[in-house]
Amino acid sequence: MRRSLFLAAAMAVLLPACGIASAQASLRAPPPAAAAAPAPAPFNIGFVLYTRGDTPGTLNARWNYANAYSGPGVATGGPASGGFAGRYHVRYFLENGAFSDEYDLEIQRHAPGDFYDVTWISDGRISARGVGMEVADGRGLAVGWRRISD
């Protein structure tokens, strides 16, 4: 009996010193709750690819914002002939077909070359600005953009 008590006392002293008891305790106890890190803010970067629509003065859009939102869109009211430069009214939709946003869209050719300045206007205020370039032998206009914050 004395031997059992001595062995139990020795283990009570030696096991914590070796870290075994604390390792066994950590297997039994749930881990402490990790502090939740705040989610990073999405990038203020968007991309849109415009292609000429079947109807003169229209552009079809495929857009993405911060790799978080994307979908199709259509711009109407532009010039009946020529390049991409002009004034349009554009409506964007989410992938599920739900309406997203609409803007007055101004596309201006930036000479020289096939580069463009692009502005999205809502309620008379600039909402976003971007730069673009013609792609696919002039069949598309690729535009990188960012929202303008006050």
Taking the C-alpha atoms of residue 84 and residue 124, their distance in angstroms, rounded to an integer, is 22
Residue 39 inside a domain? The answer is: no
7 part of a folded domain = no
Domain of residue 127: give its range: 46-147
Per the domain annotation, does 67 fall within a domain? Answer: yes
The answer to the question of residue 12 being in a domain is no
Higher pLDDT, 58 or 112: 58
Q: Is the pTM here over 0.75, yes or no?
A: no
Question: Among all chains, which residue has been given the structure tokens 């600039």?
Answer: 126
- Asked if the structure places residue 31 within a domain, the reply is no
Number of domains in the chain: 1
Residue 72 belongs to some domain of the structure? yes
Q: Is residue 69 part of a domain?
A: yes
The Cα-based distances of 35 to 31, 38, 85 in angstroms read 12, 9, 51
Confidence bin at 37 (pLDDT 50/70/90): confident
